[in-house]
Amino acid sequence: MAQILVRVDEDLAKEVRRIVKEKYGGRRGALSLVVEEALREAVSPPAEISPSTLLEVIDYVSRAAKEGQPKDQILANVFLMLDREFEQSIVKGIEDLRRGRLRRVPKGGDPIEFLRELARKA
């Protein structure tokens, strides 16, 4: 395995440590995992559903249901909206599950608010 020495200012280092703590807790080697993940995304950005896209889909489904659109039409439009993003998100989700990198809605929390918060951070 190759090693790369990277120097960053203190503010960036603090932010990276905060992200590491949020995502992995105190796991050994967690800092390396976050940095490796960031470098991989910089080299080959993943195709996944962003929280903002998911919120758009939820808003569309809610609006379409209130308008009385047929279920088949709503589903077809959702699949068109998600298309490749959806497939890649599932693949990435399975990979994240295997590696223990999941962000779950806190118990008793509102899932929609959780998605909105993720969208604001993104």
| Helices marked H in the chain | 10-24, 30-43, 51-67, 71-99, 111-121
Domain ranges of the chain: 1-45, 46-122
Task: Write out the two tokens for 67.
Answer: 């308008």
Per-residue pLDDT 10s for the chain (122 aa) are: 788 888 888 988 888 888 888 887 777 888 888 888 888 777 776 556 777 778 888 999 999 999 999 998 898 888 877 776 666 676 777 777 778 777 677 777 787 887 788 777 76
Give Cα 73 to chain centroid, integer Å: 27
Residue whose structure tokens are 């999941």: 102
Please report, rounded to a whole number, the percentage of residues in the chain having pLDDT higher than 70: 89
C-alpha 34/C-alpha 37 separation (Å) is 5
Return d(Cα 55, Cα 81) in angstroms, integer: 12
Q: Is 48 left (phi over 0), alpha (psi -120 to 50) or beta?
A: beta
Its pTM stands at 0.35
- Taking the C-alpha atoms of residue 61 and residue 50, their distance in angstroms, rounded to an integer, is 17
Angstrom CA distances, 51 to 66, 86, 89, stand at: 23, 12, 11
pLDDT tens for each residue of 29-43: 888 888 888 887 777
Encoded tokens for 83: 């298309």
pLDDT of residue 66: 94
Question: By CB neighbour count within 10 A (0-12 exposed, 13-18 middle, 19+ buried), where does 70 fall?
Answer: exposed
